[in-house]
Structure 1
Amino acid sequence: MKKKFIGMVLSLSIILTAGVIPGKPVFAASTLNVDCGTTIRGVTHCASGSLYGITESKPSDISQIVAPLKPNVFTNPALAGSQNQQPIGAAIPVAGRLTNTTGKVMIRLADIYPKWPYAFTNMDDWIGKVTNVINKKKASGYSDFYGYEIWNEPDGTWKSTSVSFNDLWLKTYKLIRSLDSTAQIIGPSYSYYNHNRMNDFLTFCKANNCVPDVICWHELGGSKNISNDIKDLNSLEKTLGIPAKKISINEYCDSDHNAEGQPGASAPFIAKFERNKVDSACISWWWTGAPGRLGSLMASDTQKGAGWWFYKWYGDMTGSMVNVTPQNDNSNGVDGFACVDSSNKYVSILLGGVNDGTVNVSINKLPSFIGASANVKVEKVDWKSKDTPVSGTNLVFSKSYPVTNGTINVSIPNTNNTSGYRVYITN
């Protein structure tokens, strides 16, 4: 009995000493390594765009709401109306609204047809409708188009028994090349990446000289698979003898679609897109009653949400993107992306993701303009829901760090999974 009591006291002592609550899992602090000396590429804001995020009238103020995000690509229906898949948001008028921004429009041709899966009729009808869209696009005089996405999620929406998807792809590819020869052709736009399916598609395309200019698929289950999916595609291209193509992930979202546009969920996506040099990526659109909200970056038609402020930080990035290494590239855990601007003399690091509350950021090979002492400002933007307006960002702390061998270590306590953070460094 005495021996058992001693054991209980010892166990309790260990628990109290460690500061651990019985039954609660113990996690190590998350770490992130930023290598300011390794440039990935110039800033592109590749992931700043959305699916149906802009319509003919929403958001109403392009100059104040859209332009500051330095948007890249928006995916919009080729046509909109009662006879089409989407009632509003047609690509050509949206392109007209974006003429004074960095934004470009990807034309989703499949949205010519209504219903879900799409109510495809026959090839003659399809070719006539696509020809009409191409002619309208060319006649518009707008130049801010990213290209034509031939079909959307054929792995689930191609139901024709008289025409194969490959036949549709080949004939549409040839049509676009004949009518709009310099336009980018985008596909296959699968609902998720699958090695065998992509291999079959690219094998057909290689054999029939119809490889897309931009290879596209969706990542709607979180960011954990992105890097491996891209590595697999790169391997397929080498095996098939296809020169590396641009990549577009024109629908991306956390597996919990309520987190669409959430800063904490968005950070690992953007980090992996930047690290893998993705050409474009669009936030998804799960809220069918609310198009025109930039993929839930807006809390309403006129009010900014937390996501808007996080993507504004992203839009503010200039100079060159540099390498960031997370603890686990194949997870939804803490990840980040960073830029160095030697002209404006700053380093900006954005981060977020699933974490235990403390994130340690090791920043190495700081540029010489930072000097012997780095002024560091850490800010955050908090999120409650996609419909909750947010008025701005908040300062976590601001302090000076001595630079040792080009390195500083910044520890951010009390972080959470839904907020986004910025580490901003000047001399």
Structure 2
Amino acid sequence: MRRPRRTTLLPALAASLSVSLTASLIGALVPPAPAEAAGATLTVNVAQPFRPVTHVASGGLYGLAESSRPADSALLPLKVDSLTQPAPGVGQKPNGQPPGGDSLLVAPQATRVGAGEFIRMPDIYPDFPYRWVSWNDWLAKVNTMVGARRNATTVTNVIGWELWNEPDWTWNTSAAGSFNDGWTRTYRAVRALDTTTPIVGPSTSYYNRSWLSSFLSSAKAAGTLPDVICWHELGDPTAIAAHIADYRALESSLGISPRRIAINEYAATSEVDVPGRVASYVAKFERAGVEMAHRAFWYEYGTMNGLVVNNSQPTGTWWLYKWYGDMAGRMVATTPATQTGLDGFASYDSTRKIVNVVFGNESGTNTVRVTGIGPLGSSVRVTLQSTPASGRFTAVTAPTTISTSAYTVSNGEISVSVPNMSATSAYNLVVQPVSGVPSYQQRYEAENASVFRAQRLTSSSASEGGYVGRIDNNNGDHTTDSYVDFVVNVPTARAYTMTIGYANGTGATATQGLAYNGGAWTTVSYPPTAGWGQFGATVSTTVNLRAGYNVIRLAKGSPYFNGGTGYAELDYIQLT
């Protein structure tokens, strides 16, 4: 972000440095792009899926600004999962810019693109590091922020209150007392006004086991554990797996049930606009089991952290996230030769028989070995593309197509040589049957969609092995409504038949609301089925969609909808 901070390499230094000096220093501390010997191999095992595609790392800190900046058209292809935005009534002046990105003011746009929001509460202060005034002042601000959120009755996409940011160096212990006590006091103040919205923290500037151990022990004793645990990863993606594993061991040793993990700031100044380096971060977040990860804020807000220039034009790094957004089905295992060089992430959509691999962080001639692709046939078509590190001010209108070739599948695998790689560029490998795939994605798995106050679950009878259940909440409270938003992309404006795979174990017909692109509500009825988690039943309806991206919502509860009846689980929607 725009601020002095501790780093993993020099944890005691950052608090004493100026903003400009620290930004330069962090960039200098980040290891340069690896210069390993050419010939690294990334192995992709399509037969080893490990989680549904949820676009874990597509989020951003201060990604949106008021007045729809950047444009929806630049955001929808990215399948933005979540955002961290400033508090209502934001006072922060990021990098000298006027206050902006108020979470409630950008909520309509975030909703239009299917993104949830964490609200960063201390950003109500104008200064960074935050300038503490008094407990009376802070608790009054907490009341004001939570009250504003409660009064915003059309805002349903708030997924967490982030109580503080980087308390390991921004908390004023001498004026406010210990952070552990301050956390408990703030937690209780929020919970007195809002009993349901998840609480997020402690948002430390780096992973620090001893600091977290003290915090978690105190919070457990006080009954104020965060629902979502988070810290920042800024400058060394090779440490991510070890940090996650160590945190899980710490959690277990303290007798704390597993928390959801969010890395709500990632990538240093020298990395955030380098798609090859970003590919390494995303790969490691996916493999480690992080639920959400947000690009760090270092420069201008309202640009999705440098992915968009001139409000709607893509930079080079945007294309990496576009390829990520194109992924559907399930993430599949990727194994790099080392943690410091060539790395990537991959998905397989079995309904289209298409494999997507995004990789980078290495130079020279390297190899992507794709195994487990027997179901694609004896011959496959492979398309290889690249996108450069263009920086945050240079538009890149399209990725470069390096090659399109046919490969013979031998023992269920192929090896693709990728010549003349640049360590700063990212690459996209698409593998599909030589006969081709449908011209547009028709099936959208519910577990790949944006899920609000419901749960992703697994079932052997579900399409791609996953579904969304516990879509239960409809009590007239906009902070607890349950719904699922599907971001879909269709080639032409027309009426489409939308088939919904579902289960309904209630023994009676259930209903949900259906709306798309913020339009009028209709009702979908789900007759009873054999039982919960047992799929195969479908219902169909008609939706009139515009060409390009659309957002389709199926809801138990939502603003302007009277509410669904009974209960139904969602497997997928299919547009034909």
TM-score by length of structure 2 reads 0.66
Residue 30 of structure 1: aligned partner: 40
Conserved in 1, the CA contact under 8 Å of 2:266 and 2:295? Answer: yes
Residue 380 of structure 1: aligned partner: 386
Of the three residues 124, 139, 159, the one matched with 1:146 is 159
Task: Report the Cα offset of residue 322 of structure 1.
Answer: 0.8
Task: Report the Cα offset of residue 81 of structure 1.
Answer: 5.1
Conserved in 2, the CA contact under 8 Å of 1:55 and 1:94? Answer: yes
- When residues 357 and 170 of structure 1 are mapped into structure 2, their CA distance, relative to the original with a 3 A threshold, is same
What residue identity is the alignment partner of 1:207?
Answer: A
More strand as a share of residues: 2
Residue 216 of structure 1: aligned partner: 230
Of the three residues 180, 193, 197, the one matched with 1:166 is 180
Looking at structure 1, the residues matched to 110 and 374 of structure 2 have their Cα atoms a distance apart, in angstroms, of 36
Residue 297 of structure 2: aligned partner: 285
Of the three residues 77, 81, 84, the one matched with 1:72 is 81
What residue identity is the alignment partner of 2:363?
Answer: D
Number of aligned residue pairs: 394
Of the three residues 244, 254, 258, the one matched with 1:230 is 244
Q: Which has the higher contact order (CA 8 A, sep 6+)?
A: 1
Conserved in 2, the CA contact under 8 Å of 1:110 and 1:150? Answer: yes
Indicate yes or no: 2:260 matched with 1:246.
Answer: yes
Of the three residues 326, 331, 338, the one matched with 1:321 is 331
Of the three residues 128, 131, 142, the one matched with 1:130 is 142
Residue 532 of structure 2: aligned partner: none
Residue 357 of structure 2: aligned partner: 349
**Aligned sequence identity (%):** 39
Task: Report the Cα offset of residue 82 of structure 1.
Answer: 5.1
Looking at structure 1, the residues matched to 275 and 93 of structure 2 have their Cα atoms a distance apart, in angstroms, of 33
Conserved in 1, the CA contact under 8 Å of 2:165 and 2:203? Answer: yes
Task: Report the Cα offset of residue 80 of structure 1.
Answer: 4.4
After superposition, what is the alpha-carbon deviation per residue over 1:271-290, rounded to whole angstroms, capped at 9, x for unaligned?
01111121111101111xx2
- When residues 262 and 84 of structure 1 are mapped into structure 2, their CA distance, relative to the original with a 3 A threshold, is closer
Residue 188 of structure 1: aligned partner: 202
Conserved in 1, the CA contact under 8 Å of 2:317 and 2:390? Answer: no
Looking at structure 1, the residues matched to 146 and 166 of structure 2 have their Cα atoms a distance apart, in angstroms, of 21
Looking at structure 2, the residues matched to 298 and 397 of structure 1 have their Cα atoms a distance apart, in angstroms, of 27
Task: Report the Cα offset of residue 167 of structure 1.
Answer: 1.5
Looking at structure 1, the residues matched to 348 and 426 of structure 2 have their Cα atoms a distance apart, in angstroms, of 19
Residue 346 of structure 2: aligned partner: 338
Looking at structure 1, the residues matched to 191 and 328 of structure 2 have their Cα atoms a distance apart, in angstroms, of 35
User: Equivalent residue of 1:390, what SS?
Assistant: coil
Task: Report the Cα offset of residue 300 of structure 1.
Answer: 3.7
Task: Report the Cα offset of residue 60 of structure 1.
Answer: 4.5
User: Equivalent residue of 2:313, what SS?
Assistant: coil
Residue 366 of structure 1: aligned partner: 373
More helix as a share of residues: 1
Structure 2 segments unaligned to the other structure (5+ residues): 1-34, 434-576
User: Equivalent residue of 2:237, what SS?
Assistant: coil
Looking at structure 2, the residues matched to 367 and 50 of structure 1 have their Cα atoms a distance apart, in angstroms, of 37
Conserved in 1, the CA contact under 8 Å of 2:53 and 2:330? Answer: yes
Residue 273 of structure 1: aligned partner: 285
Looking at structure 1, the residues matched to 385 and 250 of structure 2 have their Cα atoms a distance apart, in angstroms, of 41
Looking at structure 1, the residues matched to 37 and 372 of structure 2 have their Cα atoms a distance apart, in angstroms, of 29
Conserved in 2, the CA contact under 8 Å of 1:84 and 1:113? Answer: no
Conserved in 1, the CA contact under 8 Å of 2:68 and 2:106? Answer: no
Residue 420 of structure 1: aligned partner: 426
Residue 553 of structure 2: aligned partner: none
What residue identity is the alignment partner of 2:79?
Answer: K
Conserved in 1, the CA contact under 8 Å of 2:315 and 2:390? Answer: no
Looking at structure 2, the residues matched to 107 and 31 of structure 1 have their Cα atoms a distance apart, in angstroms, of 41
After superposition, what is the alpha-carbon deviation per residue over 1:321-373, rounded to whole angstroms, capped at 9, x for unaligned?
111111223x3x211111110112201001111x23122111111251x0111
- When residues 170 and 391 of structure 1 are mapped into structure 2, their CA distance, relative to the original with a 3 A threshold, is same
User: Equivalent residue of 2:210, what SS?
Assistant: helix
- When residues 358 and 185 of structure 1 are mapped into structure 2, their CA distance, relative to the original with a 3 A threshold, is same
Task: Report the Cα offset of residue 125 of structure 1.
Answer: 1.5
TM-score by length of structure 1 reads 0.89
Task: Report the Cα offset of residue 386 of structure 1.
Answer: 2.1
Conserved in 2, the CA contact under 8 Å of 1:258 and 1:386? Answer: no
Residue 93 of structure 1: aligned partner: 105
Provide the aligned C-alpha RMSD in A. Answer: 1.6
Structure 1 segments unaligned to the other structure (5+ residues): 1-24
What residue identity is the alignment partner of 1:377?
Answer: T
Residue 308 of structure 1: aligned partner: 318
What residue identity is the alignment partner of 2:193?
Answer: L
What residue identity is the alignment partner of 1:96?
Answer: P
Conserved in 1, the CA contact under 8 Å of 2:92 and 2:123? Answer: no
Looking at structure 2, the residues matched to 367 and 267 of structure 1 have their Cα atoms a distance apart, in angstroms, of 27
Looking at structure 2, the residues matched to 202 and 37 of structure 1 have their Cα atoms a distance apart, in angstroms, of 38
What residue identity is the alignment partner of 1:196?
Answer: S
User: Equivalent residue of 1:117, what SS?
Assistant: coil
